[in-house]
Amino acid sequence: MTVQPVPATVGAVVPPGDPVRLCARAVALVLDLPGTGLRADTPLADLGLDDVARLCVADVVEELAGLAGVAWRMDDAVLADAGTLAELAGGLRPVPDPTGTPPQPPVRRVRR
């Protein structure tokens, strides 16, 4: 399995406040699938997401979130046990700011 580099424009396509779409985009990138058709209840096993691919998905999710201006981290236990995209998205946790400032909820950007 080869992980494709994440283009800088990808983060702009995924709303930072939509963790399911963020995870769906990451899964699609890692598994080289079209992003359309992946729903919150999509079983990860049906997509062929093995343990190595799950680790890659976590890295891509964190990268995409960072590109969108959100500091999120995937919870390791959820990453290992998630059965669907919704469960996987439920494992996203805000990364605490090293300055001690509490993490802010993601801000939705409005397209004009």
Reported as a single tens digit per residue, the pLDDT across 29-81 is 999 998 677 889 989 999 999 999 999 999 999 888 888 777 888 999 999 99
51 closest CA partner among 20, 21, 30: 30
Class of domain 10-94: mainly alpha
- Tell whether the model's pLDDT for residue 95 goes beyond 50: yes
Q: In the chain, where are the structural domains located?
A: 10-94
Residue 15 pLDDT level (bands cut at 50, 70, 90): low
Residue 86 pLDDT level (bands cut at 50, 70, 90): very high
pTM of the complete model beyond 0.85: no
